[in-house]
Amino acid sequence: MAIVSIGTDLAQIGRLEEAFGRRGQRMLDRLFTAGEQAYCDRRPKTRFTHYAGRFAVKEAAMKVLGTGWRRGVRWVDLEVTREPGQAPQLAMHGRSGEIAKQLGIDRVFVSITHDAGLAMAVAVAERD
């Protein structure tokens, strides 16, 4: 196993919540899959904390891929999932999955943390 690349990102929870106030559901649909929205919305008191964490993972993953928001990678092509009692995982669909395959990435480990109005994520891409 070898590390291919790493990425990190820091997101302001309040900034994401303010953007939602201006743009509404359309923004959430552009950034987050239905599954991600369901996960976050089941936690009304910390809803935007979880959205910000997932946003940070997506940004970190784009850095891992070396794409940023370009090369056809859509926000919803990167999906953060989490089974009860387990660490979050990243699924790459569409163009992001194609790029990961081209780079020889077999899996991406992610970690999310939140504190003091910030959400931070780290993504580590690995190949066998």
How far is it, in rounded angstroms, from Cα 101 to Cα 117?
35
Q: How confident is the model at residue 62 (pLDDT cuts 50, 70, 90)?
A: very high
Task: Quick: pLDDT tens for 72-111.
Answer: 899 999 999 999 999 999 999 999 999 999 999 999 999 9
Asked if 123 and 3 touch (Cβ cutoff 8 Å), the reply is no
The pLDDT, as a whole number, for residue 67 is 83
How far is it, in rounded angstroms, from Cα 30 to Cα 109?
24
The reported pTM is 0.95
| pLDDT over threshold 90, residue 30 | yes
The pLDDT, as a whole number, for residue 72 is 84
Quick one: which of 100, 87, 98, 106 has its CA closest to 2? Answer: 106
* Strand 118-127 versus strand 89-92 pairing type: unpaired
Please provide the average confidence, as pLDDT, over all residues in the chain.
95
| pLDDT over threshold 90, residue 68 | no
